[in-house]
């Protein structure tokens, strides 16, 4: 059985190319509908992520066009499919990058649905949250924490959750030094979580933007320097969230033997990829240093992180944009005008 509502307004990616504010268009969409295992959400807020720029500019090609982007979604349930049992109309829920996985492959059976060959990313393989309504299977929706308003909760569903996964992949032990490369929406939350989970570990931040370095120090960083500045001590782990190649691979030289570089990005821009040819094996990679990428996210990551965020009373630094300002938010992100996370306020 299908359920539907009237037409909605949504921002859609019309074509792929350099982002100029014209390839993302606000328009009316056909009536969305839900199947028996899906819920329909009135979107209250949606976080703005660099992945949207990657989709617009072709580094992370959407499955189809036109498509509604956005994958850090919070809202209110307004309709339920007949088989939905975990939620009721009126519940407040959120959704992240994982829209669905097959549930039956070897990866899904082991809790690694982020590696499922049929993984679908919200806003890339299905319509996302830059619209007034959004639908998702109930299995991939999450009850909202209650300690903060919805604008502050939206970034938890990607920036926070994927940052938490990256931090888990470091296998850090309390007392070991951690470095964060780039200090936008994700790493500004990783800093706070790391300080909570590993209170004796110094955290060093590396960012080109002086305002980002100032924010890092205000949030408790033990050091904040420019990309390439040497840290006060060699690092056990690095988490990179930059969209380019040079920063993480330059910083490899500052890892301890056996240290780990975790790259938390869906794609890298091409403009400095020739830097990879300058890597020196003995200086940068030798002594069992590891490079690992973060791929997508699991349901367990989001569930664990939401509980942790509520326990910490974690509140992101946010910049709120009206729904009509989606292109401005993305332009500011592209121009590195960043302080914490950006959030679209879709409806009241």
Q: What share of the chain is helix, strand, coil (3-state, %, to 5)?
A: 30, 25, 45
- Helical spans, DSSP H, in 15-135: 50-57, 106-109
Residues 148 and 167 in one domain: no
Instruction: Tell me which residue has tokens 């950006």.
Output: 342
Residues 206 and 167 in one domain: yes
3-state secondary structure of 266: coil
Residues 341, 347, 348: CA angle, nearest 5 degrees: 100
Question: How far is 89 from 91, CA to CA, in rounded Å?
Answer: 6
Q: How many domains is the chain partitioned into structurally? A: 2
Residues 192 and 272 in one domain: yes
> Hey, what's the torsion of the CAs at 90, 96, 100, 105, to 10 degrees?
-130
Residue 82 tokens, joined: 């007949």
Question: How far is 259 from 288, CA to CA, in rounded Å?
Answer: 7
Q: Smallest Cα–Cα separation from 118: which of 128, 133, 104?
A: 104
- 340: alpha, beta or left, given left = phi > 0 and alpha = psi -120 to 50? left
Residues 164 and 205 in one domain: yes
Question: How far is 100 from 38, CA to CA, in rounded Å?
Answer: 11
Residue 275 tokens, joined: 């830097």
Question: How far is 72 from 266, CA to CA, in rounded Å?
Answer: 15
C-beta separation of 114 from 266 below 8 A: no
| Full pLDDT tens readout for the chain, 348 residues | 344 456 899 999 999 999 988 899 999 988 778 999 999 999 999 999 999 999 999 999 999 999 999 999 999 999 999 999 999 999 999 999 999 999 999 999 999 999 999 999 999 999 999 999 999 999 999 999 999 999 999 999 999 999 999 999 999 999 999 999 999 999 999 999 999 999 999 999 999 999 999 999 999 999 999 998 999 999 999 999 998 888 999 999 999 999 999 999 888 877 777 777 777 888 888 889 999 999 999 999 999 999 999 999 999 999 999 999 999 999 999 999 989 999 999 987
Residues 19 and 149 in one domain: yes
Question: How far is 104 from 282, CA to CA, in rounded Å?
Answer: 43
Residues 132 and 225 in one domain: no
Specify the DSSP class assigned to residue 131: B
CATH of the domain at 199: 3.40.50.720
Residues 127 and 212 in one domain: no
Residues 243 and 164 in one domain: yes
Measure Cα distances from 293 to 67, 119, 201 in Å: 26, 17, 22
Domain of 190 in residue numbering reads as 160-293
CATH of the domain at 152: 3.90.180.10
Residues 202 and 264 in one domain: yes
Please give the pLDDT value at position 30: 81
Measure Cα distances from 318 to 159, 230, 233, 279, 321 in Å: 12, 29, 31, 36, 10
Residues 63 and 132 in one domain: yes
Question: How far is 218 from 210, CA to CA, in rounded Å?
Answer: 12
Residues 143 and 16 in one domain: yes
Residues 16 and 144 in one domain: yes
C-beta separation of 109 from 57 below 8 A: no
Query: For residue 4, what are the β-bridge partners?
Result: 33
């Amino acid at each position: 059985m299908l359920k539907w509502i009237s037409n909605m307004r949504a921002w859609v990616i019309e074509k792929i190319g350099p982002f100029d504010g014209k390839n993302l268009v606000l328009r009316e969409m056909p009536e969305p509908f839900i199947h028996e295992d899906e819920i329909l959400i009135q979107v209250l807020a949606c976080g703005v992520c660099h992945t949207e720029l990657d989709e617009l500019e072709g580094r992370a090609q959407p499955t189809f066009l036109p498509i509604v982007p956005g994958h850090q979604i919070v809202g209110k349930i307004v309709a339920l499919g007949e088989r939905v049992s975990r939620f009721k109309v009126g519940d407040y829920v959120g959704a992240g990058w994982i829209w669905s996985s097959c549930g039956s492959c070897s990866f899904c059976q082991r809790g690694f649905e982020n590696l499922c060959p049929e993984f679908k990313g919200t806003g890339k393989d299905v319509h996302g949250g830059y619209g007034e309504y959004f639908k998702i299977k109930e299995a991939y929706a999450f009850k909202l924490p209650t300690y903060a308003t919805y604008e502050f909760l939206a970034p938890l569903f990607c920036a926070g959750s994927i940052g938490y996964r990256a931090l888990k992949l470091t296998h850090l032990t309390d007392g070991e030094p951690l470095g964060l490369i780039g200090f936008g929406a994700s790493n500004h939350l990783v800093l706070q979580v790391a300080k909570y989970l590993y209170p004796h570990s110094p955290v060093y931040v590396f960012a080109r933007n002086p305002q980002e370095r100032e924010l890092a120090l205000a949030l408790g960083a033990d050091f904040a320097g420019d990309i390439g500045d040497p840290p006060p001590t060699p690092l056990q782990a690095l988490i990179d969230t930059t969209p380019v190649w040079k920063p993480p691979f330059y910083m490899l030289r500052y890892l301890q033997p056996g240290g780990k570089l975790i790259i938390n990005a869906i794609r890298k821009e091409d403009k400095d990829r020739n830097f990879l040819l300058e890597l020196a094996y003995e200086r940068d990679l030798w002594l069992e240093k590891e490079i690992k990428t973060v791929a997508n996210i699991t349901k367990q990551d989001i569930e664990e992180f939401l509980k942790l965020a509520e326990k910490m009373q974690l509140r992101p630094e946010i910049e709120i944009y009206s729904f009509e300002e989606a292109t401005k938010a993305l332009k500011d992100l592209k121009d590195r005008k960043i302080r914490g996370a950006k959030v679209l306020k879709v409806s009241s």
